[in-house]
Chains A and B, each alone.
Chain A
Amino acid sequence: MSVVNVPLKDGTRAVSRAALDSAAEARMFRRPSEWRIFWEAFSRDRLALAAALVIALVCLAAVLAPLLSPYDPTVGDNDLRLAPIGTPGHLLGLDGQGRDILSRLLWGGQVSLAIALLPVTVASVISVVLGLVAGFFGGKVDMIIMRTLDVFFAFPAVLLAVAIAGVLGPGMLNVMLSITIVLIPYISRVAYMATVTVKSELFVDQARVSGARPRQILLHHILPNTLSPVIVYGSTLVGIMIVLGAGLSFLGLGITPPRPDWGIMCSDGRNFLSVAPHVSAVPGIVLILVAMSFNIVGDGLRDALDPKLRK
């Protein structure tokens, strides 16, 4: 649908011809809302749309796990231990303790998604504040914030996450804390770069000349322009962090058994690799699918949010 072709729902006959014309004209040339521009660009990307649908379905399935899951994810049926995919009543088979894999996937989704989504959100908020303040005020503030973050940037990310989670001890909260700490320097750099670039644009000078206060410039002119790179980067990071979070669970640093999560499920299957590889394989495939979807959505968002990349 073209941008100009906004449907008219004006049916009033009483209005004079001239008035109708000018109203129609005004409507025709009215700028469509930002949302509309974004949605039209994003929905044109079929792959990104499909990936967004996958994410929505997986999230919905995880939230509705109490309703959807056919069995208790923590209670096993000993007679059917390691039953393969397609066992009647157990679509994806059973694990080493006779627990239904589909039910565990649904319940585990809650943990695996939360472990990535919450830290990325929290880290993004903190990072935008840090990046804005450092980039906008510059000087000593810039130096203190960015040099401190450089130190955290110097660690290999996976190693830092494992070390922090390991030192704090197992637990979902500790894993989320460690992922948040690891993410902040990365996202802050993106927010910082965006701030510094936007700060030197002409429209910011214009705002300053018109008498805008620093607070207004920061919140109304610079903040909106740093958000889109952070959102794009963040959505890609969610995919990577789902994999990292699952990795930490795999090492036994995440949620404590018997509660499931996708990483623990992969790890549970390690002892049965030669007889029942599906126990580890199935959660891994779900992990890849979801992580990949976030990646594709990230690419789609980048193309849709950046006016220069829109087709």
Chain B
Amino acid sequence: MLRYLVYRVASIVPVLLGVSIVVFLMMKLVPGDPAEAILGPAASTEKIEMLRRSLGLDRPFHVQYFRWLWKVLQGDFGMSIAVNVPVATLVWPKFWNTILLTLGSLVICVLVGLGVGVVSGTRQYSWFDRISMSLTLVVANTPAFWLGLILMVVFALRLGWFPATGMYSMRAAEPTVSDLLHHMVLPAVTTAAVSAAIIARLVRSSFLDVIRKHYITALRAKGLSERDIVLRHGMKNAMPPIINIVGLQVGYLMGGALFTEVVFSWPGIGLQIYSSIVARDLPVVQAAVLVTTFVFVLVNLGTDVVVAALDPRIRRA
């Protein structure tokens, strides 16, 4: 296990370096000169040249990259072009809001996905199974931004059960947890929907695989209750692929949250990326993409380690 852990942790170093190179190059591919873009069309050639030098844009590519990487490793993502504050102070608070939203939707999609999947998997071809599997097929193909709009129409505008936008009530004197949760319901459900459907379908097929194994028949022959068989013995073997897909879904949730955040004006990193793209504030986009991808890589690492801990066949391979 320790060998696997060391190997797996070491293997993310080149990936993260590669990610940083891609993110760095992405910003270099932007059409136009950044110094000209910052100063505007009226700036003189000398001024542009001065800014280019102070930004280090006259240096060779690899020098620029290593200087940038060195700063990033110290938490310095440069200055925002649009609002003239350090990118880090702009991105970090937004980042935590996205983590909150992601966690909320993760809870929903694991609970719903597991629940629906286990019941469907243990009662194949029952009415519940048929209906839930048709429903998950539809939901799995639903665009998050569209689902968000529909939920907003029904539950915020028509029924008025939940607020339509934002994270806290404007009028509230102090942010409270209950207010936050109230605001989070619709965005979290929207973000979770597709993943919940995918997880439910996978849990079902994973259970169908396990439930046909001989050891389950043996347990039935021994006279164990169906509940014990499913929840204690079936779950154990069905779990590794499920955890695997849940880990992958975390990345999907963080990406999908972008659409939800735009629809529900949730002040997270997705909304920040969106408004920074509109404002052509590329250092912010750069930092936001880098930070989110970094977390995604760590989550995948964590998932792999958990799966390996649960399934000895994987860590020996």
* Cβ-based interface call for A159 (8 A): yes
- Chain B residues with Cβ below 8 Å from A263 are 143, 145
Known contacts A151-B22, A154-B293, A162 near B157 by CB under 8 Å: no
User: Which residues of A141-190 have CB atoms within 8 Å of chain B's CB atoms?
Assistant: 147-148, 150-152, 154-160, 162-164, 166-169
* Chain B nearest Cβ from A86, distance in angstroms: 19
Contact B296 A292 (CB under 8 A): no
Within 8 A of A (CB), among B272-317: 273-274, 277-278, 282, 285, 289, 292-293, 296-297, 300
Q: How many residues of B contact A (CB 8 A)?
A: 47
Interface string of B248-282 (1 = CB under 8 A from A): 00011011101100100000000001100110001
In the complex the two chains form, is B26's CB within 8 Å of A250's CB?
A: no
A130: Cβ under 8 A from any B Cβ = no
Interface string of B152-172 (1 = CB under 8 A from A): 110001100000000000000
Question: B149 at the A/B interface (Cβ < 8 Å)?
Answer: yes
A288 interface residue per 8 A CB criterion? yes
B145 touches A167 (CB 8 A): no
CB <8 Å contact, B278 and A150: no
Q: A203 to B157, alpha carbons, bound, how many Å?
A: 64
Is A156 a contact partner of B254 (Cβ separation < 8 A)?
A: yes
Residue of A with least CB distance to B292: A159
Please tell me if A277 contacts chain B, counting CB pairs below 8 Å: yes
Known: A162-B273, A163-B285, A167-B282. A155 touches B146 (CB 8 A): no
Give bound CA distance, A296 to B27, whole Å.
Answer: 38
Q: How far is the CB of B102 from chain A (nearest CB, A)?
A: 11
Is the C-beta of B15 less than 8 angstroms from some C-beta in chain A? yes
Contact A150 B15, beta carbon cutoff 8 Å: yes
Among B39-47, B123-131, B133-141, the one that faces the other chain is B133-141
B252 & A158 in contact (Cβ 8 Å cutoff): yes
Contacting pair B15 A151 (CB below 8 A)? yes
A247 and B27 CA atoms in complex are apart in Å by 22
Measured between beta carbons, the chain B residues less than 8 angstroms from A154 are 15-16, 18-19, 293, 296-297, 300
A76: Cβ under 8 A from any B Cβ: no
Q: Among the listed stretches A35-43, A118-126, A204-212, A279-287, which one makes contact with chain B, having 4 or more residues with CB under 8 Å of it?
A: A279-287
Q: Across the interface, do B141 and A292 meet the contact criterion of CB distance under 8 Å?
A: yes
Please report the C-alpha to C-alpha distance between residue A189 and residue B69 in the assembled complex, in whole angstroms: 29
Residues of chain A with a CB closer than 8 A to B107's CB: none
Q: Is the interface of B mostly helix, strand, loop or mixed?
A: helix
Cα A250 to Cα B261 in complex, Å, equals 13
0/1 interface trace, chain A 242-258, chain B, CB 8 Å (1 if under):
01001100111100000
A239-B146 in contact (CB<8A)? no
Q: Which of A147, A156, A167, A274 contacts B153 (CB 8 A)?
A: A274
Q: How far is the CA of A143 from the CA of B296 in the complex (A)?
A: 23
Neighbouring B residues of A295 by C-beta, 8 Å: 137, 140-141
B289 lies within 8 A of A155 (CB): yes
Q: Nearest residue in B to A165 (C-beta to C-beta)?
A: B277
Does any Cβ of A come within 8 Å of B30's Cβ?
A: yes
Is A108 an interface residue when CB atoms closer than 8 A count as contact? no
**Does A73 sit within 8 A of B, measured CB to CB?**
no
Residue of A160, A243, A273 near B157 (CB, 8 A) is A273
Whether A250 touches B29, Cβ cut-off 8 Å, given contacts A154-B293, A156-B252, A166-B273, is no
- Asked if residues A250 and B15 are in contact (CB atoms below 8 Å), the reply is no
Contact between chains at A288 and B143 (CB < 8 Å):
yes
- Interface bits A69-106 vs B (CB < 8 Å: 1, else 0): 00000000000000000000000000000000000000
Q: Provide the bound-state CA to CA distance between A148 and B149, in Å.
A: 38
Chain B residues at the A interface, C-beta cutoff of 8 Å: 14-16, 18-19, 21-22, 26-27, 29-31, 137-138, 140-146, 149-150, 152-153, 157-158, 251-252, 254-256, 258-259, 262, 273-274, 277-278, 282, 285, 289, 292-293, 296-297, 300
Additional pairs, 6, CB under 8 Å, beyond known A162-B273, A267-B145: A163-B26, A168-B31, A169-B31, A250-B143, A253-B277, A273-B153
